[in-house]
Chains A and B, each alone.
Chain A
């Protein structure tokens, strides 16, 4: 069903492009926006404009930033010899939440996905190699433990090891606070394989 206002219709179409938003939800969001005080809608418009104009990708690590290089890459408090390779900027946020990691990052932009035709040339692999060649002590591969993530981890480790850098990966296993009896077989196998001396 078409709305009676082309402007509202175009807003519904724009909202429905958001991930996980269907047309019905988009319609509710558009009507909600319409009912808001003008100041709040203007705030939303400004926020969107700011994101569009200011936010870009860091030319070093490819994380989301407003300054280039980003705050992490330009920080003198960070260990620039330690790089953590992640799939997406979301993963940088997750690791930064721990307040424990003091190295820098490299956002790969995804993983190898053979069925979708995504190969190394579609990811920021070449840029990672260039960074490592300039001098790095350790590369931590922190990709998701999916089949595609594992394939990418193996692919990268094969490329990086000949460069003389230490290549490590994050551990896989039982989440903190979880019960062993509810862990699935694959996770338990990996947890046993990755056991460490105490």
Chain B
């Protein structure tokens, strides 16, 4: 069956002398692998399109019995020319792909999550400052869509206001515990501005995400918190290997 769908390229692997196997997250069919024959030669129409983070319109032969499907045509559906060329944006985008890649399973369709990814990449491309905010917003959405959304309005233990410090992130309950309820042995204390940042970036309005100004170290602390929560709860999710590179790019 020949199908046409929007897709975001997650990763590419060289295959043979001239081909590539690409892992894509498609709007209609979820994550799958495609073989792009001859895609590495300079004459190929795919040569500049099939890179991680590329948003494409893909046409391929979908065969139920196969794990890798044959890509017959692809064209760029959105151009994110500001991401490549900016190391911080590139690494931020890689962490988004890494998180999605580890959280979703093959052939699991999720159009809402697809839209969140495209929205986050669009925002990252346009961002004039704080690119990591887009990653945090995407991770919040990813966790929510995976069924492990964060509870940010009240203490996860007593249901009271989160007004007493130190706040503690309790991953098993998916949110913050107030200073009164926290277990004495918990070490993952967070500052009130971390909670405010999460509340701000939980809003479904990408135009406001970049207005939040966080120190790079603080942004990374929130990313680590969310990545840890993802690994702990989402079945099959593993540690995000791309995080250390983002860290070295952001902090230096």
Contact = CB atoms under 8 A, between A and B. Distances in A.
Interface of A: 19-20, 112-117, 119-120, 145-148, 150-151, 154-155, 158, 175, 184-187, 189
Contact of B87 (A20, A151, A186): A151
Nearest to A118: B241
Contact of B79 (A113, A155, A158, A185): A185
Given A20-B17, A151-B94, 9 more contacts: A20-B16, A115-B94, A115-B101, A115-B242, A117-B242, A119-B244, A175-B42, A186-B48, A186-B76
A114 B91 contact: yes
A115 B45 contact: no
B22 to A, nearest CB: 12
Interface string B60-95: 000000000000000010010100110100110011
B38 interface: no
| Closest 3 pairs (CB-CB, A-B) | A114-B242, A117-B241, A20-B16
A150 B249 CA distance: 14
Contacts of B48: 145, 184-187
B29 interface: no
B94 A186 contact: no
Contacts of B49: 184, 186
A155 B252 CA distance: 10
Nearest to A155: B87
Contacts of B94: 114-115, 151
Query: Which of A147, A185, A186, A187 is most buried by chain B, counting CB atoms within 10 A of its CB?
Result: A147
A107 B16 CA distance: 21
Nearest to A113: B11
30 contacts: A19-B16, A20-B15, A20-B16, A20-B17, A112-B245, A114-B94, A114-B98, A114-B245, A115-B94, A115-B97, A115-B242, A116-B11, A119-B244, A119-B245, A146-B12, A146-B51, A150-B90, A151-B91, A151-B94, A154-B85, A154-B90, A155-B87, A184-B45, A184-B48, A184-B76, A185-B76, A186-B49, A186-B81, A187-B48, A189-B81
